[in-house]
Amino acid sequence: MNASAECRAGVFSVLTPPGRGGIAVVRCFGPAAPDALAAAFRPAKSEILNLKSEIGDVTLRPRAASGLPDVGRLAYGHFTDTDGRTLDEIILYRAAADAFEVNCHGGPAAVEAVCRRLAALGLERVGPDRLLEFEGAALLERDARRLLASARTPLAARILLDQLNGALARALVAIAADLEAGRTADADRAMATLLARWHSCGRFLAEAPRVALAGRPNAGKSTLLNRLLGADRVLTSAAPGTTRDVVEADAALEGAPVVLVDTAGLHEAREGVERESVVRARREAAAAPLVVYLLDAAEGATDADRAALAVLGPRALAVWNKSDLTRFPEPAAEAAGHVPRLGTSAPALRVSALRGDGVDALGRLILARLGWKQPQPGSAVPFTPAQAAALDAARAALARSDPSTHSGSPRAGSRGGANQARTHCAEARKALEPLLEAPTRCERRPATK
Ligand SMILES: Nc1nc2c(ncn2[C@@H]2O[C@H](COP(=O)(O)OP(=O)(O)O)[C@@H](O)[C@H]2O)c(=O)[nH]1
Ligand SMILES: [Mg+2]
């Protein structure tokens, strides 16, 4: 059952992350929320009265009997236990008749005290996503808010905000209208555009792709990771074998979120920790959709490099590092096969991880290889695998139609084809149904509780 249909009582959720902080926000929602908050909240009347006597004849609006603020208003006061003792000083915001935000102090103890009291007053503690469900937010809104809460780059947040503001929802409504009117070609084209944006952008927002750094020890993998991050995140050293564990770091390449994975390198290691670190490196390289393979330009490519690149195949992006040290590779060296050509005719890029030369170009090349394309502001972008799957299913339904109806409206004189097209349009519309879900806000009670 839809959560909003069963919102008889009340729920609350801590919207701020756990840990130290100045302020935490606990959102409460449901028909039982006003009573619960009226029981726990004591507005700071005395402070306000003192203020009144100090500054003369200021008339204060009388508060509602419960002490709860009106909708859209804030009230400062105390959050109290059953005996009226203060648990914390809070600012209470009333977002709607039955929706409140308790802004309490951010330390774990203060938040726990507030939560315990709300639970004792009969409100159920839920996660932020469930809270949104109770509040009747549509699936697209819930998904956008969930991903926005963990967006890794400002650009990712901006694209998700566009979707939260309805870019994708509007595009889907237009597609549904096309399907209802039998405009299969228009609907199909619009869905193909959305799916292209999923592949070139949305999937990066759903889960940042992993880019593994590989190469022999000392090729400069850790130095490159630090350079791409713009921070001294991992230890680098002239001593081979400095990196043992797999280190991952969230990075923004041209604003696109990716996870960079530094490894020990892909070399033969006979025993102990080193052997285990190479096993882990191989595992990462095997799983990543793209592996930046660093070749040491000062040393040239070795048989080990060539063997590793052959195993990685087209997932590898071979790059010469330490371009500052040498003019290698000469064009002749490339021609002699020192520069591996892995299914592309482009020669390996040259960078200096130490000095930064070529590193921006490498970032762009990584994005191009991953298929990233930045959408125009305000564009509709599907951003969850479920959305992409629904669009795929809808297109598959249309593809089953008689191709003669694909050029637009069903042709006159082809009644069978027209009926068939209508059926397939209805199937396509059904596949999109979960994404078209309208918000079902719970009925608000009057604010004058
Ligand atoms: N000259 C020069 N040295 C580099 C470059 N990149 C890395 N190094 C040096 O090569 C050594 C090994 O680097 P490191 O990043 O630890 O290599 P890793 O084992 O592949 O992680 C360190 O002394 C780095 O300073 C570069 O582009 N140019
Ligand atoms: Mg290293």
Weakly modelled stretches of the chain, pLDDT under 50: 1-7, 46-53, 59-62, 329-333, 335-338, 340-346, 405-408, 410-413, 443-449
Residue 195: per-residue pLDDT = 98
* Angle at 283 (CA atoms; ends 282, 287), nearest 5 degrees: 115
State which ligand 1 atom lies nearest to the alpha carbon of 217: 19
The pLDDT of residue 342 is 41
Atom number, ligand 1, closest to the C-alpha of residue 323: 27
Residue identifier of the C-alpha nearest atom 19 of ligand 1:
218
E strands present in 22-126? 23-29, 41-43, 74-80, 86-96, 99-105, 124-125
Alpha-carbon dihedral sign for residues 130, 135, 136, 141: negative
Closest residue CA from atom 2 of ligand 1 = 322
Q: What are the strands, taking DSSP E only, across 190-271?
A: 210-215, 247-253, 256-262
Question: What separation, in Å, do the N-terminal and C-terminal C-alpha atoms of the chain show?
Answer: 28
Alpha helices in 45-153 (DSSP H): 45-55, 108-120, 128-134, 139-148
> Which ligand has the nearest atom to the CA of 224?
1
Could you tell me the distance, in angstroms and rounded to a whole number, from the CA of residue 250 to the centre of ligand 1? Answer: 21
- Interhelix angle 154-164/167-180, rounded to 10 degrees, is 40
The set of long-range contacts for 268-272, using a CB threshold of 8 Å and a minimum separation of 24, is 268/304
Query: What phi and psi values does residue 28 have, to the nearest 5 degrees?
Result: -120, 140
What confidence score (pLDDT) does residue 441 get? Answer: 62
Ligand 1 atom 6: residue of nearest CA: 220
Taking the CA of residue 216 as reference, the ligand 1 atom at the shortest distance is: 20
* Residue to substitute in 354, 355, 357, 359 for testing ligand 1 pocket (most ligand atoms within 8 angstroms of CB): 354
Q: How far is the CA of 35 from the centre of ligand 1 (A)?
A: 64
Q: Which of 303, 140, 309 is nearest to 214 (CA)?
A: 309
Residue pair 290/211 in contact (Cβ under 8 Å)? The answer is yes
Dist. CA 265 → ligand 2 center (Å) = 8
Cβ-based neighbour number of residue 181 at 10 Å = 12
CB 282 within 8 Å of CB 265? no
Taking the centre of ligand 1 as the mean of its atom positions, its distance from the CA of residue 222, in whole angstroms, is 7
Token pair belonging to 155: 């650009």
Distance 310 CA to ligand 1 centre (A): 24
pLDDT value for 446: 40
Q: How far apart are CA 331 and CA 406, in angstroms?
A: 52
Of 183, 228, 204, the closest CA to residue 372 belongs to: 204
Whole-number Å distance, alpha carbon 207 to ligand 2 midpoint, is: 25
> Relative to the alpha carbon of 217, which ligand is closest?
1
Residue 9: predicted pLDDT: 87
Q: Which ligand is nearest to the CA of 247?
A: 2
Tell me 4's DSSP state: G
Q: Ligand 1 centre and the CA of 251: distance in Å?
A: 20
DSSP 153-174: SHHHHHHHHHHHTTHHHHHHHH
The pLDDT value recorded for residue 100 is 97
Best residue for ligand 1 mutational test, from 218, 221, 223, 324 (most atoms within 8 Å of Cβ)? 223
Can you tell me the distance from the alpha carbon of 244 to that of 227, in angstroms, rounded to the nearest whole number?
Answer: 19
Which residues have C-beta atoms less than 6 Å from ligand 1?
215, 217-223, 236-238, 242-243, 265, 321-322, 324-325, 352-354
Distance CA 381, CA 198 (A): 6
Sequence-separated (6 or more) residues with CB below 8 Å from residue 328: 297, 298, 300, 320
Could you give the CA distance from residue 60 to residue 56 in angstroms, rounded to a whole number? 11
Q: How far is the CA of 321 from the centre of ligand 2 (A)?
A: 13
Residues 394-433 as b/e (b if ≥16 CB within 10 A, e otherwise) read bbebbeebbeebeeeebeeeeeebbebbbebbebbbebbe
